[in-house]
Structure formats: structure tokens, C-alpha cells
Amino acid sequence: MHIFSIIFVYLCMKTYKEQIKNKTNCVLLKDRIVLGTFGSLKKIVNFVSSDEFPSYWTLIRKKDNPIVCGNYSIFRVKHY
């Protein structure tokens, strides 16, 4: 059984180009001033940590770009 799991992992591995092909970063703005770039929405929620800011679970369901939350805007940009 152990050999089958090794073979499965080997077949599922992707090259570096395939891994970064669809990678995006999140840029956080407040009143059109850039506060930072983040690798995930979870890091943005931990950074802002305010009661008026939505939770992580609310943000991941939103597909529009930019995500507008009061004075904050989150842009998903392609990683180069």
C-alpha cells in the first residue's frame, strides 16, 4: 500500500510553471492608499482585524474584483 501512495503523489506533482500559472496576490487598499500585498485573504483579515471588516469565509465566496468592504478594497492581481 505504501508504494501505491508514493506513485500517486509522484503522478500528481506539478512543475513550477504549472504551480504559478494561476497564482494571484491580494492588494489591500484603504481610501486608494496601498496598505500592502498579501498572499492570501486570511492574512488580510488578520492584518485588518476590525469589527466592520468581513470575515475570511465571507471574502472567499466573493468572485468580483475588486472586493469592496467599506473604505477597503481588495484587488486580486496575477503573480509575475
Answering whether pTM is above 0.75, one says no
Instruction: Please indicate, yes or no, if residue 69 is contained in any of the structural domains.
Output: yes
Instruction: Please indicate, yes or no, if residue 5 is contained in any of the structural domains.
Output: no
CB 28 within 8 A of CB 38: yes
Segments forming the whole domain that contains residue 38: 21-78
Domain count, the chain: 1
Tens-digit pLDDT profile for residues 44-62: 999 987 777 888 898 889 8
Q: How confident is the model at residue 7 (pLDDT cuts 50, 70, 90)?
A: low
CB 56 within 8 A of CB 41: yes
Instruction: Please indicate, yes or no, if residue 26 is contained in any of the structural domains.
Output: yes
Instruction: Please indicate, yes or no, if residue 50 is contained in any of the structural domains.
Output: yes
